[in-house]
Structure 1
Amino acid sequence: MLDPRLYQVIVDSMSAHVAILDEQGVIIETNRAWQAFALENGMKDASDSVGVNYLKICDGAGRKKENDAIRVADGIRKVLAGELPEFLTHYPCHSPEVRRWFAVRVVPFRDDTEHKVIVTHENITPIIEVQEALEKKEVELRRERERLEETNIALRVLLRQRDEDKTRIEETIYINVDRLVLPYVEKLLQGRLTEKQRTLTEVIDTNLRDIVSPFLRSLTAVNVLLTPQEIEVANMVRSGRTSKDIADVLGISASGVDFHRKRLRQKLGLTNTAKNLRSFLLSLESDG
């Protein structure tokens, strides 16, 4: 059998507040941690808690609508009656200065002669504070996720609106060019023009039609960084203009046009291939 003095040393070394209750719920023994807590919370003497009916204290607190006390009293009674092998719960125990939480555990006292229980209260404030911090962080993350989802929805709406606006603008440009500009260019081409005037007018006609075609967008999409003059040459090559025609329109030599043709083939990846430059440029229009 364990020496009573050794037993007391062991119990007093525990950080938990320990009390032994008899079958009526009266405190018959406490450890040092329980006594220290009692002094900190209004007891005049450490021994004052011995002889106090713990169940009556819980019942009194229950009449003040303290549900935790009701739950603890019910658990103690069920362990005393043998209806439960063990009772566990936790509860807040705040003071004006400090927020605290305790876990309470009730187990039978192994004594063949009497029904007793051991009640332990352990300060679990650090654990609860960590749980609260995690819950707070989860709420913040959920709100941030919801905010991001709302932002993404708004962005998708804006992008869809932008695409719709872009399509509407393109349609407006197409209609305006087709109805208000091209008819007059066609009339010019039907009139008396010099060869150079006709060539320039045909270039104007072609370029206007390109505004409403996918060709220039496709040419830009290949990401080859063409110079403005290379774009002009590419446009006229696609239209079937000869190097002489292009040279006359741009005011450069035929060899200059040939140089631009060579640069276009390099930038478009046609060097050392049998692909025709004009055919490739026409394919850009159909792909667009």
Structure 2
Amino acid sequence: MERTDTGVEVIQASPAPVDDYLDSYIGRKAADFVDAYEDVHPLCLFVGFAGPHDPWDAPGAYASMYRPEDTPPPIPIPAKPATLPDYVEPNAPFRAGAPLSPELIAQIRANYYGKISLIDYYVGRILKAFERRGWLDDLLIVFVADHGEMLGDHGRLRKGLFYESCLLIPLLIRWPGRIPATLVTNALVENIDVFPTLVEAAGLTAIGWHAGKSLWPLLRGETSNLRESQLCESGRARNHFMLRTSEYKFAVDATERTYMLFDLAHDPDEQRNLAGDASAIDLENSLRRELQRRLEQSRCAE
């Protein structure tokens, strides 16, 4: 693709027809697989869409489905951002290039929304295939993503950061007759919980050690919470870890220097970094102890 002088790909429709676009191909082949399935054994199907993801190249009508001027503005860069590791800084050269203009961010967001709508369409096609086979009401469906997208928030694009824009992802689970359709939870869960949840749903017991927790106590309404904190590690920089509770977010780098501390209850847009603030030293120490406990428990530190 062409590139602008900001280092960001030009936002444009994919040259490929909609039917030949990668996510279209994945969705279509998954639906075809269900339509043609004749094995006597129960069906387990994993479908991994590549998007929504950069480059910003939604195909066909999906590229113009949303108007840039209708997209919400990004979360701003704080007027006095705290010192952050290079890979977290706004407009880090290897992630965004020069400062992102509001117009460019709006174009990226509109294109990204189009890619989401394309995936939504093909998820519908897959579910229709199960419905044609008469299996939909017996089907356990788990819809989950592996990361979010900055989309210009805090002056950044793409992934790999500990901001909410990257961390908050969908997790939808449907199983008629087993899970109430109206169930919504704010419990702290992690992607590694999906594996033990599926194992338990199959009536099996997981073999060996794993850090995830089955979500079934939540799904059955037996509890409102599984854990007091979430643990996350970054693949962008070695030994960068984050701890998140229902109220706070705490992140340290490889030298154990705190570089993120946010009061999410009062600062959901993460505009005031309390890292190094004397008023938050007791809170920081408490979160550091919890982070160390979680690291030892999870083996991430190894």
**Structures share a fold, TM > 0.5?**
no
Greater length-normalized contact order (CA 8 Å, ≥ 6 residues apart)? 2
Quick check: which has more Rg, 1 or 2? 1
* TM-score of the two chains, using structure 2 as the length reference: 0.22
More helix by share: 1
